[in-house]
Amino acid sequence: MPFILSKVSTPISTEQEIALKSGLGKAISLIPGKSKEYLLCEFEDNCRLWLRGEHDEPIAYITVSIFGNEPHIGNDRFFSEVTRLYGEILGIPADRVYIKYDDISVWGVNGMAIDRRAWR
């Protein structure tokens, strides 16, 4: 299950949140084997984010956690699309959208551990 946590320095309206959620649902399909059906998103707006000692311009810090994509297939296209979405929907310039990628090899769901390394 992919998880995307977005921390942005701007407010996010309900309409913008829905647009981001929908756009991220489409973008996640750029990563093989991932789809919106299993995507979990969290949005934190009005965060006090500082860059270069300043916090007067909009900025986004996005953490993307993906299970089972250690070769990072599709990441370039995915990052590009996420950056475009935050620019288009929230007006955050591309050079102020930072994306952190976390590889998840073990995931717990439904009271069970799923270990990607056991699939090899």
Looking at per-residue pLDDT, the higher value among 105 and 14 belongs to: 14
Q: Which two tokens stand for residue 16?
A: 């913008």
Residue 113 pLDDT exceeds 90: no
Summarised one tens digit per residue, pLDDT across range 9-24 is 999 999 999 999 999 9
pLDDT at 119: 61
Quickly state the pLDDT bin for 85 (edges 50, 70, 90).
very high
Q: Please say if the pLDDT value at position 68 is more than 80.
A: no
d(CA 101, CA 62): 9
Domains of the chain: 3-119 (3.30.429.10)
Burial class of residue 65 in the structure, from the number of CB atoms within 10 Å of its CB (0-12 exposed, 13-18 middle, 19+ buried): middle
| Average pLDDT of the chain, as a whole number | 92
Give the residue from 119, 109, 18 showing the smallest Cα distance to 69: 119
Q: What is the mean pLDDT of residues 41-66?
A: 96
